[in-house]
Amino acid sequence: MKFRLGLTGSIGMGKSTTATMFADEGCAVWDADAAVHRLYGRGGGAVLPMSEEFPDAIENGAISRDRLRTIIAADPTALPRIEAIVHPLVLQDREAFIASNADRIGVFDIPLLFETGGDKAMDATACVHVSRAIQQQRVLARGTMTEADLERILARQMPNEEKCARATWVIETDTLEHARVQVQDVLNDIRNRLTHA
C-alpha cells in the first residue's frame, strides 16, 4: 500500500460520510465496523469460535449484537474474552485488504484508532470534527439512541478534542462542501509527500 491514512472521530462527527468522500477520490477504504459485521454474519469467521465461548450469542447462524450486549452487561469478564476472539480476525481482514490494494492510498475508517493504538500502524491520521451541538443533533436525529445512550458511548471514548490534537489533519464536517474540500487538501498533501519521498 502506497500510504495508510487512519481516519477516526467520535460518533456523529461525520466519519462515514468523510470515508465515502475519500473513496470518491479513488482511495481504497477499509471500514473496521463493516469488517466486524462480516465476521458476525452467517458464515463469518467469528461465528464458530464465538459459539464455542458464548453459545447464547448465536441466533440463526450469526452473532447477535443484542445478545452480546446482554452477556457483556451480566459478565464483567465477557468483553475481554470477546475482544480476544474478534480482534485477531479483524486484523486478518485488514491485512487481506492491504495485500489486495498494494498500489493505492488506503484509508482505514477506525472509530477507536487512538484508543487501541491502531495509529501506530498508519503513515498519518485524520480526525473528523464538528461542534458538540451538531454532533448531538445528528446522533439523536437517527432515532436509535437517547441522550443518555450518547453520553455512555462518549464516556468510553477518548474526547474528540484529544483525538484532533493527536491527528495529522483535522477535517471539519460542518457542511458537505467544506468537508469535501478538506478531503481533497489532505489527498493533495499525501500525494506531495509520496512524490517527494
Taking only the tens place, the pLDDT of each residue in 89-140 is 999 999 999 999 999 999 999 998 999 899 999 999 999 999 999 999 999 9
What are the backbone dihedrals phi and psi of residue 100, each rounded to the nearest 5 degrees, phi first?
A: -90, 0
Shared domain check, 82 and 12: no
Residue pLDDT, tens place only, 44-95: 999 999 999 999 999 999 999 999 989 998 998 999 999 999 999 999 999 9
Shared domain check, 88 and 120: no
Residue that has been written with the C-alpha cell 450518547 in this structure: 150
Question: What is the domain count for the chain?
Answer: 2
> What pLDDT, on a 0 to 100 scale, did the predictor assign at position 150?
86
Shared domain check, 22 and 82: no
Shared domain check, 180 and 131: yes
Shared domain check, 89 and 108: no
Q: Is residue 112 part of a domain?
A: yes
pLDDT band at 169 (very low <50, low <70, confident <90, very high): very high
Containing structural domain, residue 115: 1-27+104-192
Question: At which of 81, 103, 125 does a domain end?
Answer: 103
Shared domain check, 54 and 11: no
Q: Which residues of 74-108 are buried (b: 16+ CB within 10 A; e: fewer)?
A: eeeebeeebeebbeebbeebbeebbeebeeebbbb
Shared domain check, 69 and 108: no
Shared domain check, 120 and 41: no
pLDDT at 193 over 90: yes
**In angstroms, rounded to a whole number, what is the distance separating the alpha carbons of residues 37 and 9?**
19
Predicted TM-score of the model (pTM):
0.89
**In angstroms, rounded to a whole number, what is the distance separating the alpha carbons of residues 88 and 172?**
32
Shared domain check, 98 and 126: no
CA-closest candidate to residue 7, choices 27, 26, 104 = 27
Shared domain check, 72 and 14: no
Shared domain check, 110 and 181: yes
Q: Is residue 197 part of a domain?
A: no
Q: Is the dihedral of CA 93, 99, 100, 106 positive or negative?
A: positive
Question: At which of 103, 131, 153 does a domain end?
Answer: 103
Question: At which of 103, 126, 158 does a domain end?
Answer: 103
Residue pLDDT, tens place only, 147-159: 888 888 888 889 9
